[in-house]
Amino acid sequence: MKGRGCEAACLGCGASLRLPSSRSPAAGLCAVCYRGIPWIASPACLRCGRGTPCPDCRRRPVRHFRFSRSAVAYTPRMKEWLAAYKFRGDERWADAFAHMLLNGYRLLLDRLRETGAGRPHALAFVPLSGVRLRERGFNQAEQLALRLGRLVGLPVMDVLERNLHSDRQSWKARRERIAGLKGAYRLSETGRRIKMEGLCRKGAPARGSLRIAVVDDVYTTGTTLDECARVLVEELGAEVFGLTWGR
């Protein structure tokens, strides 16, 4: 007979998930925690997908990505959940976060239909530096992209790599984020191979011929996404969208 120590517990509050009625659609969360998730239902900013008006998009009206969508508002409670996953290394959160990210993906598809654009061909993810990857042991953006890709039937392309290591972006002010990320990303070996195959077939990458949604955990100022998009637009001629868990 199994003891209580073997029972599944909610990642958010620790409540028992022993009864089917206590579980939510997201793996590892109870129904109460799931009902408390601050979903973004109707973005106020059409560019970044924020649920309230966005000062960053007013400051920087020109971006390399077309638009971005996020699943949840990044409230203090969501910040605690992300810290448990990202900084304390509890990878059990990955499936729950991927399920929540489905809301952001649905919002992205809604906007794509409104603008007449096609569905993304693939997902990509924001890479970590080698230093950060060794420190953390995993890339949360990659884990989310792989899980979401399986849920929605999209391939995940490892097309970017981190060119520079820097301190955590969450510690920096807005100006420091922008300055610190210039030139921080480049095409990975896979990305360079895709570029060369395109050059061999067509002579030059056709603008918009490849539609990529770049996955990350949180959209703060959009600087990370914009720098990743710049590389993909300039090097692959891709049409780039953002898809993040929190905003």
| Token pair of 215 as six digits | 């996955």
Q: Are residues 141 and 210 in the same domain?
A: yes
| Token pair of 46 as six digits | 């059409």
φ and ψ at residue 53, rounded to 5 degrees: -55, 145
Q: Which amino acid is at 81?
A: W
Q: Are residues 17 and 67 in the same domain?
A: no
Give the domain range for residue 27. Answer: 1-36
Q: State the CATH number of the domain containing residue 72.
A: 3.40.50
| Token pair of 57 as six digits | 């998009």
pLDDT at 164: 74
Q: Are residues 15 and 79 in the same domain?
A: no
Q: Are residues 167 and 132 in the same domain?
A: yes
For residue 196, the Cα-to-chain-centroid distance in whole angstroms is 27
The SS3 of residue 101 is helix
Q: Are residues 169 and 50 in the same domain?
A: yes
What is the domain count for the chain? Answer: 2
Query: Residues 139, 127: contact at Cβ < 8 Å?
Result: yes
pLDDT at 182: 80
pLDDT at 60: 81
Q: Are residues 32 and 72 in the same domain?
A: no
- Gyration radius (Cα) of the chain, Å: 19
Distance from C-alpha of 199 to C-alpha of 178, rounded to nearest angstrom: 31
Q: Are residues 159 and 147 in the same domain?
A: yes
pLDDT at 112: 97
Element (H, E) at 245: strand 239-246
Closest to 247 (Cα-Cα) out of 63, 75, 12: 75
Tens digits of residue pLDDT in 189-247: 999 999 988 777 666 566 668 999 999 999 999 999 999 999 999 999 999 999 999 99
Q: Which residues of the chain have pLDDT under 70?
A: 1-7, 165-180, 201-208
Q: Are residues 83 and 46 in the same domain?
A: yes
Residue ranges of alpha helices (H) inside 75-188 are: 76-86, 93-115, 130-136, 140-152, 174-180
φ and ψ at residue 122, rounded to 5 degrees: -160, 165
Place of tokens 């309230």: 52
pLDDT at 3: 38
pLDDT at 175: 62
Query: Residues 205, 234: contact at Cβ < 8 Å?
Result: no
Q: Are residues 18 and 104 in the same domain?
A: no
